[in-house]
């Protein structure tokens, strides 16, 4: 029986993870759940799964959750804050950690899980983007296992040789091909994209995701972050990682070998597939996902991304090539820009423009420790916020 902690349990990945876990009560038990502020959803999950501990970010919400659980006669203990979260993932009562907290906020707990030698299911791509080398090094030192949850990286993981070691380029692999759906604006002109609303940007044609990652998919920054992530996970130079647009979202990614073979992982667009794979690895377990009907799918189309309409990919590749603190700065600027767009303070095309301004001003430095990374993150956020202020004053 494996004991599982689900971080970000009330988000889309967390909910899908609990769905898969519930299908295998003989294999898994939920021992910890963590959320940011969604007390009501976390309460329902605690009553259903009865974990030993629940973690909330906000102290006031945590106090209310404790009262609610007591009224429901649920024995789950409630704690709050980052230190409590890190302690929960490092606990000897946890074997597997689903790291699904969105954004830079998920880095400390993901790193804590890796340092504690856990089986870490990495859904928090920002951890790998910001501090990939530190995360991989921590896993090597502790004996932790890192299995990617992003559908693309999980697909690559499945197509790699069995001898794969995280962070090291496998023998015989020529390149990785990451597939992108193209998002809701694949055929839109820049003029059309200039006036899109947050709801339009979040209306993904294939996947059901949170709002932040949906906007990243619409700008293709999500694919740019995944390019950086792939370089870290699989030890590949950016020049050996390509992005190809595949609107059907059936082929989740591919690996090309030096003999000319290309291995691909196919499946319906449902995050329960990579979650079940990562939970069961190296075995296979049922996910609840329907079988792929290739006849019904009929056509699988591929095309190159339009870098003029989607410059976020260019910015991300440049950050991957620069290394150091550049990926952390890129991620921070993107988080600020996306948040501003969702709040109605920045237009859609302003997202890559704001990021570009931050990256042009960024002076790259080695990312030797977590302090270097957090300082780059802080600097980029401050500059991005200043850029938003200038834009607001200019438009007033």
CA-based R_g, the chain, Å: 20
Do residues 175 and 78 share a domain? no
Pairing of strands 251-257, 173-180: antiparallel
Do residues 159 and 138 share a domain? no
Look up tokens 């959320």; give the residue.
35
Q: Which domain holds residue 121?
A: 2-148
Is residue 315 situated within a structural domain? no
Q: Return the structure tokens found at 15.
A: 């909910």
As for how many domains the chain has, the answer is 3
Do residues 290 and 164 share a domain? yes
The pLDDT tens digits along the chain (396 residues) read 999 999 999 999 999 999 999 999 999 999 999 998 899 999 999 999 999 999 998 899 999 999 999 999 999 999 999 999 999 999 999 999 999 998 778 889 999 999 999 999 999 888 899 889 999 999 999 999 999 999 999 999 999 998 888 888 899 999 999 999 999 999 999 999 999 999 999 987 776 777 888 999 999 999 999 999 999 999 999 999 999 999 999 999 999 999 999 999 999 999 999 999 999 999 999 999 999 999 998 899 999 999 999 999 999 999 999 999 999 999 999 999 999 999 999 999 999 999 999 999 999 999 989 899 999 999 999 999 999 877 655 554
Q: Where are the beta strands (DSSP E) in 195-315?
A: 241-245, 251-257, 262-266
Contact 37, 61 (CB under 8 A): yes
List 2's β-bridge partners, or say none.
28
Do residues 18 and 134 share a domain? yes
Q: What does the pLDDT read at residue 297?
A: 87
Do residues 182 and 291 share a domain? yes
Is residue 378 situated within a structural domain? yes
Do residues 64 and 38 share a domain? yes
Q: What are phi and psi of 13, to 5 degrees?
A: -70, -40
Contact 71, 53 (CB under 8 A): no
Contact 162, 171 (CB under 8 A): no
pTM above 0.75, yes or no: yes
Q: What does the pLDDT read at residue 396?
A: 45
Cα separation, 166 vs 156, in Å, equals 12
Do residues 116 and 254 share a domain? no
Do residues 20 and 111 share a domain? yes
Is residue 317 situated within a structural domain? no
């Amino acid at each position: 029986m494996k004991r599982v902690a689900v971080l970000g349990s009330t988000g889309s990945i967390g909910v899908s993870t609990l769905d898969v876990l519930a299908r295998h009560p003989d294999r898994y038990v939920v021992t910890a759940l963590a959320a940011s502020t969604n007390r009501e959803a976390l309460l329902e999950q605690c009553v259903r799964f009865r974990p030993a501990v629940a973690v909330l970010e906000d102290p006031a919400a945590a106090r209310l959750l404790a009262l609610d659980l007591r009224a429901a006669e649920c024995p789950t203990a409630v704690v709050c804050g980052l230190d409590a979260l890190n302690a929960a993932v490092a606990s000897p009562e946890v074997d597997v950690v689903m790291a699904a907290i969105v954004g830079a906020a998920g880095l400390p707990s993901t790193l804590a899980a890796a340092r504690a030698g856990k089986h870490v299911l990495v859904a928090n791509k920002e951890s790998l983007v910001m501090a990939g080398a530190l995360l991989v090094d921590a896993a090597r030192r502790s004996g932790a296992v890192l299995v990617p949850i992003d559908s693309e990286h999980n697909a690559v993981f499945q197509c790699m040789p069995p001898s794969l070691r995280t962070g090291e380029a496998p023998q015989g692999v020529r390149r990785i091909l990451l597939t992108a759906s193209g998002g809701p604006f694949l055929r839109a002109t820049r003029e059309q994209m200039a006036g899109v609303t947050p709801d339009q940007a979040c209306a993904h044609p294939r996947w059901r995701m949170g709002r932040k990652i949906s906007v990243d998919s619409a700008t293709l920054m999500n694919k740019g972050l995944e390019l950086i992530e792939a370089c870290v996970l699989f030890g590949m130079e950016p020049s050996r990682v390509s992005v190809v647009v595949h609107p059907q979202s059936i082929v989740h990614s591919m690996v090309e070998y030096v003999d000319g073979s290309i291995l691909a992982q196919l499946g319906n667009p449902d995050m329960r597939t990579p979650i079940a794979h990562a939970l069961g690895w190296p075995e296979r377990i049922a996910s609840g996902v329907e079988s792929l009907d290739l006849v019904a799918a009929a056509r699988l189309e591929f095309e190159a991304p339009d870098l003029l309409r989607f410059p976020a990919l260019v910015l991300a590749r440049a950050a991957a090539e620069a290394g150091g603190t550049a990926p952390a700065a890129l991620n921070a600027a993107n988080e600020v820009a996306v948040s501003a767009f969702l709040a109605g303070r920045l237009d859609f095309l302003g997202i890559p423009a704001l990021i570009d301004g931050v990256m042009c001003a960024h002076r790259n430095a080695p990312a030797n420790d977590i302090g270097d990374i957090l300082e780059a993150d802080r600097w980029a956020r401050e500059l991005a916020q200043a850029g938003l202020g200038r834009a607001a004053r200019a438009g007033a």
